[in-house]
Chains A and B, each alone.
Chain A
């Protein structure tokens, strides 16, 4: 497969000196544990990711891996050659053009060199299609222990699954990418670099619904008239859950547009961290950030929202809003807005609020016959909906309303004897 990776060459300009403590362990893990440990557990596809073709990664002991896919479920997967890094080109007209799921399975690969860290490179070129090209990734965080085919693994017991992805989207192409992290225990480190060429569009969705430890970092570069959105839906149910999500948007051409949305629901000591940074590097660029957290007992959410408007990036506009809802006195919400504005003629706004369920709203619903529990549920759903409504991928939006929003219930184990 020949792949034009010229866009990818422009990637990774971001500052390697990470300011965040979590990140250092992430980066370290990439260099010291260049292994792919992917669970072989098969799960039912969700209805929004119903598969017309399914593809598998398989990692091998020598640090190489293979990628197999079938154009549809009826034909058998074609065996592929072993490779270190996989390059993959998608065009309208290829058999995998519409909606498919990429499932990963395999055994633990242990390699000594960082260069063997697996990278998947994808070029998306879809100029003729009226519909955006839709890609689904499904990650099984897995665990080096649970994959268990190697008894004498040289890796530390809780070695995380590591993964790198590079995606280039050609000019005038639109794509929707769903990345789902399966709800199993284990750790996953994912770094992805995404480049959008002129007038291309990407809607990226990250779904995490389980007790995994996820360390995600996405760098998204957007050329002029390009438009990228990243929406995170995260439901962290227990103290083992960690959702660490970093997103860096680089607006590099006029009228480039970045949107970062997130809704996180943490329960029972779960931890969620969202670092969202938008870099307005040239004039007339636009960004919006909307993050919401719903926090149950002992859970903690951290949001750092950065807006950087470079010198000369005049007539840019940036909006940032974060809201936290505390369901328990022991929940914590920490917000750090950072606005670094080096141009004069710009519009930059940020807002932040944290509170409990509004007592007057609750009473209003109750005074119409809706019992207290249901009224709370409705208010929680309403709180989340503002983010869910940003989802443009209709099946996913439908699924989110049915599954994610309904999953907000039973937030607290018991009511604290309130009269």
Chain B
């Protein structure tokens, strides 16, 4: 579904470009759950943003291919919104507050953009409202969250749950969850993890970026990767997470 080969990418800053990803390889197939772990600054968030098409990143080398209509296609020419419509989803580490735009308008507009792209009829606000209300219990949010500004005044946990709600609404094929577990209390963590488990099908895939093995207690990954210095340096099954918990990352440094 996703194939990343020798990916090099720079982050664009006012002070100039800086290479963050330095020859990264990763393959994700439908039905799989992957976890990417690594110390701060290793490029985990950058990887997810490059896949989603964040404008602050520039790919300088390598390939980023995604399966669209049963064919692997180059993602790089696609805009962030086109990538999202093809089924890529990024749950942000720090979900953005968008004052003045209600959560329901935001979700409905996003949903209709995806539906339209796939040639389906748009959902009217009433119809969408019923649809989204069914998804709310999954993440334990009440209906008044729909009428509030996107993430405005939400607690940290509510923001993260709102990301999973969006994932539930949009039904992406490939989701990157960027430290969705960080800053969550144990109840919120369980809710988020249950949400991810319930949304799992044999046709979609999830990549979880995390610092802690804690999330992996609730969502069992098929693969655990270690991202260090802009590259995947180690891959294993979920047991690798336990080992990292004990030994840290230093033993993997070149």
Contacts and interface: CB of A to CB of B under 8 A. Distances in A.
A364 interface: yes
B54 A363 contact: yes
B16 interface: no
Contacts of B80: 363, 366-367
A368 B101 contact: no
B96 interface: yes
B84 interface: yes
A386 B99 contact: yes
Given A368-B110, A369-B113, A374-B109, A361 B84 contact: no
Given A363-B55, A378-B105, A368 B98 contact: no
Contacts of A371: 79, 81, 113
Interface size class, chain B:
20 to 34
A386 to B, nearest CB: 6
A154 B92 CA distance: 68
Given A363-B54, A364-B92, A369 B114 contact: yes
Interface residues of A, number: 24
B19 to A, nearest CB: 20
Nearest to B58: A419
B52 interface: yes
Given A369-B110, A369-B114, A371-B113, A364 B98 contact: yes
A376 B158 CA distance: 25
* SS class, residues of chain A in contact with chain B: helix
A370 interface: yes
A382 interface: yes
Contacts of B84: 366-369
A359 interface: yes
Contacts of A385: 100
A363 B54 CA distance: 7
A369 B170 contact: yes
A381 B101 contact: yes
Contacts of B160: none
B81 A384 contact: no
Given A366-B84, A368-B84, A378 B109 contact: yes
Contact of A365 (B83, B85, B106): B106
15 contacts: A359-B56, A361-B96, A364-B150, A365-B98, A365-B101, A365-B106, A365-B110, A366-B53, A366-B81, A367-B53, A369-B84, A369-B110, A371-B81, A382-B101, A386-B100
Interface of A: 358-361, 363-372, 374-375, 378-379, 381-386
